[in-house]
Structure 1
């Protein structure tokens, strides 16, 4: 039984969205991964990322279009991922790096501000024991 036209259009649209989600998650992974010097860790991280992406995209397609996994769904996911990398990835990646640096700076400042009162308390306790 062939699918209705609106169902086929929904499949294509959601496949494109799935490909864009894959590209965005890959950019996030690139920021988190950074530069590891251990090749074996890179291979393990890459395999785990592929499994995670497969689970996320399959869950997305299962929830949205009841997992009609036809060949053109995969084709549109690949095409939309490639278009994302070609058109949007450089801007998204730059903004992710800026956000990651700001987040790192915020965490560093918070930890220093939390650590300072704890140091003062520890010094006062150490002075009382003498």
Structure 2
């Protein structure tokens, strides 16, 4: 039984969104992994990333279009991933990097501010200035 047109349209839209999500996950992984590291560790990280990505994308497609995985779903995901990597990846990578850097700075400052009274107290006990 052929699918109705609105169902097919939803499947294509969600497949395109899945490709964009995969691209964003790849940018996040690229930022976390960095450029250096031992080759064996990078291979293990790559395998774990693709397993996690496959689970995340399958779960997304399961909830949005009942995990209908026809050939055009893979084609739409590939096309949207290619477009994302060519057009949006550099900008999104910079935004993600800024968010992560800002989060690190906020956590570091929060820790220093929260630990300052304790450091003062223990320094006075030990007669340190």
TM normalised by structure 1 equals: 0.90
Corresponding residue for residue 75 of structure 1: 75
Corresponding residue for residue 55 of structure 2: 55
User: Which runs of 5 or more residues in structure 2 are unaligned?
Assistant: none
Q: How many Å separate the matches in 1 of 2:74 and 2:121?
A: 60
User: Which runs of 5 or more residues in structure 1 are unaligned?
Assistant: none
TM normalised by structure 2 equals: 0.90
What is the RMSD computed on CA atoms of the aligned residues?
Answer: 1.4
Q: How many Å separate the matches in 2 of 1:53 and 1:71?
A: 19
The range that moved more, 94-103 or 2-11, is 94-103
Corresponding residue for residue 13 of structure 1: 13
Q: How does 1:50-129 map to 2 (within 5 A)?
A: 50-127=50-127
The DSSP-based 3-state class of the residue aligned with 2:126 is: helix
Count of matched residue pairs: 127
